[in-house]
Amino acid sequence: MTRQVTGQPPVRGRDAPERDPVYSLVGGFADGRLEADFRRSHHGWFNGRLITAGLLGGILYFVALLYDHAVLGDSNAYHWLFVDRLAVMAAGLWLAARAHYNGKRDRALPVFSMLAFELALALGFLGVVFLHGGSIVFHTMSMLAIVTVFYIFLPNLSTGQLLIPWVFSVAFLVIFRIAFEATSIELTIPVLLLLLSNLMGTFFVRLINRSQRGEYVTVQALQSLNAELRQEIADRKLVEARLRESEDNLKHLFEVAPVPLVLTRDRDGAILRMNHAASLLLRVEPGEISDLRTPDFYVDLREREQVITRLRTQGAVEGADVHLRTVDGKTIETMLTAVRTEYDGETVYFVGLVDISERKRIERELQRLARTDTLTGLHNRRSFFELAEREILRARRKRAPLALLLLDVDEFKQINDRFGHAVGDNALNSVVEAIGRCLREYDIAARIGGEEFAILLPEMSAEWGVDAAERVREAVAATPVTTPDGMIHLTVSIGVSAVDCNVATIDRALSQADAALYEAKRSGRNRVASADDGTQG
C-alpha cells in the first residue's frame, strides 16, 4: 500500500505527472525525474521497509547460528558459518543504520547498502548450504523464505536488483547438482518451487510498484486539480466581487474604449451593446442597434459559422480574420477576438474588432512587390522559378507539352552607355510591351536578369515555341524606342527549349535554352535558335 508524504505541496500545471506514464521493467517510472519525485514523496515508507528488513533479516539470520551449533558442533564448518552469519548481520545492521540516517536528513535511498545486504544474504546462504550439506528439502524451504524476503520486504527499484533472486536460485540449484550430486528427480520439486516463487515474486513486485506509482499519479493529479479548482473558485469569487463593485466603471470603459467592442447574444445573434468605436467602424447610428443582427455584417456567412462554432466549443476566438460589411455597404477586413460569457442569464459573446484593411492592403502589395520586377511589372526571378515548378507539375498531370523561351536584348549595354539608364529602362519597357502583345493570357513572362527575359509557354511544344519566339522577335524589332538622338529599333536573340516535365525543376531547360541563346548570339543576333533540333531563324 502506498504512502503519501504529508506537507508536500502537489505538483501543478505542466510539471504534474502524466495520467498514463510509461513504466520500466520493474514497474517503476521510466521517466527518471518522475521516479525521483515518487521516491522523495515515499521516502519515509521506503526507509521504514529498509530498516525493518535490515534489522529483522540480519538478526534472524544470525540467530540461526544456534541451529548451526546444534547440528555441526564446535567444528571448523561452524566457525566459518559464524563468520558468514556475522557478516550478513553486519550488512543488515549497516543497511538499517544508513536508512535511518538518510531518512532523518531527507537524503536519497541507500540503494548501494540495500544491494550489498541482498548480495551478502544470498552469498551467505549459499555458504550455509555448502557447509551444512544435508537435506535439499530443508534448504529449499529456507531458500524460499529468503527469496520471499527479497521480493516482499525489500523495495525492488532496478532490473539488476530484480535479477538477484533469480541468479540466487540458479546458484542454489547448481550447488546441489554439482557439490552434492543431487539427481534430476531430487531437483524437480525445488526447481518448480523456486521457479514458481520467482515468477510470483516478479509479478508481485511489478504489480506493487505499478500500483504504488499509479496511486501516486492519481493523487498528484487530484491534488493539482483540487488546487487549480480552489484557485479558480477563489479567482471567480474575487472577479465577481470586483465586477459587482465596478459595474458602472466597466460600462463607462466599454463605451469609451478606443477598440471597437460589441456584445452579442448567442441564441439569435442580436446585438445587445456596441461602443462608440464600433459604431464608427460599422457606420451604425445609436438608434439602429436594436434592429441589427450579427449576420447582417458578415460578407461571408461561413466565416460567422466558423467563429460561432469555435466560441461554442472552445469558449474563445483570438485573432480571426473576417470580412465585414458596414451598414452603408462598404467591405472592411477585420481581426476578430471574442470570448463566451454569461450576461443577464444568457450566453453572450464579447467581441473586439480591429480594422486591418490597410494592413492587409499593404501585405498584399508587399507580396506583389516580392514577386514582381519593379521596373517592368513582370514576374521576378524568384517568382518565375516558383511558377515554373507549378507549371511542370500541371503539365506532368495533364501530359501536356511545355516550352521555354530565353530572350536577351542585343547590344543593350551600348544603349545604357550612350544614352544613360533612364533611356535604357524605357527601352526595356518597350521590349516588355512588345512581348506582351505576342503572349497568351496564361503564358508566364519574367525578367530574370538585367536585359534577360524568360517566357514559359504552357501546352506548347518546342516547335510551336519557335514560331512564338519568331513573333516576339519580330514584334520587338518593329517597336520603336525614343532616344535623345531620335527613334531606334532594338532586336533580341531568343533560345527555345522544351521543358522535361519528368524533373521537378526548370534548371535543365534553362541550361538548354541558354545554350540555344548563345548560338543565336554567335550566329549574328536578332535570331531564334532551338535547343531541340538546332533550327535558327
Active-site annotation, residues: 451
Cβ atoms of 47 and 111 within 8 Å: the answer is no
Q: Which of 399, 406, 385, 384 lies closest to 468 in space, CA to CA?
A: 406
Distance CA 491, CA 414 (A): 13
Which secondary-structure segment (H or E) carries 83? helix 76-104
Task: Tell me how crowded residue 508 is: count the other CB atoms within 10 A of its CB.
Answer: 13
Which amino acid makes up residue 352? G
Distance CA 342, CA 348 (A): 6
Q: Which of 108, 94, 115 lies closest to 160 in space, CA to CA?
A: 115
Distance CA 413, CA 423 (A): 11
Q: Return the C-alpha cell found at 316.
A: 474563445
Grouping H, G, I as helix, E, B as strand and the rest as coil, residue 404 is strand
The full DSSP string for 220-259 is HHHHHHHHHHHHHHHHHHHHHHHHHHTHHHHHHHHHH-SS
H-helix segments, 133-183: 136-148, 159-178
Cβ atoms of 91 and 116 within 8 Å: the answer is yes
Distance CA 509, CA 500 (A): 7
Torsion of CA 383, 386, 391, 392, to 10 degrees: 140
Which amino acid makes up residue 509? A
Burial class (CB in 10 A: 0-12, 13-18, 19+), 186: middle
What phi, psi does 327 have (nearest 5°)? -60, -35
